[in-house]
Amino acid sequence: MSVRGIRVGRISVPWRPRHLVVVLAASLVALAVAVVSAGVGDFSIAPSRVLAVLVGGGERREELVILTIRLPRILVALLVGVALGVSGAVVQTTARNALASPDLLGITAGASVGAVAVIVLGGDGGTVSGLLDTVGVPAGALVGGLLAAALVLLIIRRTGSGGLQPILVGVGVSALLGGLVSWMMVEASINDAARANVWLTGSLNGRSWGELWPLLLVVLVCLPLLVPLSTRLGAIDLGADVARGLGVSMLRTQGALLVLAVLLASVTTAAAGPIAFVALVSPHLARLASGSSRPPLAASAAIGALLVVASDLVARTVLAPIQVPVGAITALVGAPFLLWLLIRTRREVRR
């Protein structure tokens, strides 16, 4: 694969047409699926009418269905996918491990403890309801996820970031929090446990504009901050010594990258529950599709969005009128894709 560069002033960026094709193709398919998804449901609307509604010309009934019910949910799905794809790619590159994902920073486990605690301890007798359900569960997840990530990062700061240390700390903290979740699941009444299980699977059911705004805000703040850091990912991928030799301050860059990844992953987990598989698999799909040696950020984001929005469409329709949680579907959609890429792609550049 030939790599040419584009140079503007002091900044040069390698020109990789295949990356661009992957990003554009994944984004276009994701948007197309989003439009189709907005038309599918109890009240079905043709894709052309969906587009008409989106530009402001539709019947009142169509506007009501699309703008108040389906659109916010679809936008949440797209943003969740973008955020998970990016944070997964950042964590995988920073940890230099193909099995790493934001889970490793304790976010999923911490958010699970927070949300499950609200569901199991908050409901008296039956199930949680009202304000506790709509605000309490996401808030519990957000606080739990951020606290867990802070704990992991603090321990790593104390123990040093050399070798396996950060990974082992992440594993230990996640195991501790995972034990707490299992404990609550075993002690809870079956109603609470089943509700907690739906949350733990990751669901987009009934998401509205209220869940969208915080997510949008965090994504819009974090992505621009990632752009200048992303050029250093290549150096980090080559190892601490090479990075230091190239003048990249390892600790500060890694710290900043991980904080951004934590924010992105926590806010998605609060919005949609732990759809952990997306963060793990989107970077691999992006890497295999674009023939790159490390996960490309833009392609990971586009593929993440495609994965979540497509999974959500399947989740809403496959067993209708039952709405399956989206987290149960992402693996059904993503895993065969990963297997196919795995056996199809030949490695182009041999080391």
Partner 1 sequence: MTVLTVAERRDRRQRGWLGIALAALVVSTLISLFVGSRGLAPADLVAVMLGGGTHEARAILFDLRLPRTVIGVVAGAAFAVAGALMQGHTRNPLADPGLLGVGAGAALAVVLAISVLGLTTPIGYLWFAFAGAAAAAVVVTAFGLLGASRRDSSPASLVLAGTAITALLGAITGLILLLDTATFDIYRFWSVGSLAGGRGFDVILPVLPFILVGIGIAIAHASTLDALALGDDIVKSMGRRLAPARFTGLLAVTLLVGGGVAIAGSIGFVGLIVPHLVRRFTGPGHRWLLPQCAVIGGILVVLADVIGRLIVMPAELPVGVVLGVVGAPVFLVIVARLRGSRARGSRVRS
Where on the chain is the footprint of partner 1 (CB under 8 A)?
97-100, 104, 155, 158-160, 162-165, 167-169, 171-173, 175-180, 182-183, 185-186, 190, 193-194, 197-198, 201, 277, 280-281, 284, 319, 322, 324-325, 327-332, 334-336, 338-339, 342-347, 350
* Burial of 321: CB neighbours in 10 Å, binned 0-12, 13-18, 19+: exposed
Question: To the nearest whole angstrom, how small is the minimum distance from the Cβ of residue 322 to partner 1?
Answer: 7
107-122 and 137-159 helices, crossing angle to 10°: 140
The shares of helix, strand and coil residues in the chain, as percent rounded to the nearest 5, are: 75, 5, 25
* CB 113 within 8 Å of CB 180: yes
Nearer to partner 1, 52 or 332 (CB): 332
Nearer to partner 1, 137 or 288 (CB): 288
Sign, CA dihedral 13-18-21-23, equals: negative
Nearer to partner 1, 205 or 216 (CB): 205
Nearer to partner 1, 196 or 263 (CB): 196
Find, among 333, 317, 309, the residue nearest to 84 by Cα: 309
Nearer to partner 1, 76 or 200 (CB): 200
Contacts of 261 (CB under 8 A, 6+ apart): 86, 87, 90, 91, 94, 102, 105
Nearer to partner 1, 176 or 256 (CB): 176
Give 297's Cβ-side CA count (13 Å radius).
Answer: 22
Question: To the nearest whole angstrom, how small is the minimum distance from the Cβ of residue 220 to partner 1?
Answer: 30
Question: To the nearest whole angstrom, how small is the minimum distance from the Cβ of residue 126 to partner 1?
Answer: 15
Question: To the nearest whole angstrom, how small is the minimum distance from the Cβ of residue 65 to partner 1?
Answer: 26
User: Which string of b and e fits 296-319 if b means at least 16 CB within 10 Å?
Assistant: bbbbbbbbbbbbbbbbbbbbbeee
Question: To the nearest whole angstrom, how small is the minimum distance from the Cβ of residue 189 to partner 1?
Answer: 10
Question: To the nearest whole angstrom, how small is the minimum distance from the Cβ of residue 262 to partner 1?
Answer: 18
Question: To the nearest whole angstrom, how small is the minimum distance from the Cβ of residue 99 to partner 1?
Answer: 4
Q: Which residues pair with 5 in a beta bridge?
A: 14
* CB 33 within 8 Å of CB 75: no
Tokens 């710290």 locate to: 255
Nearer to partner 1, 173 or 236 (CB): 173
Q: State the amino acid at position 208 in one-letter form.
A: S
Nearer to partner 1, 191 or 208 (CB): 191
Question: To the nearest whole angstrom, how small is the minimum distance from the Cβ of residue 44 to partner 1?
Answer: 24
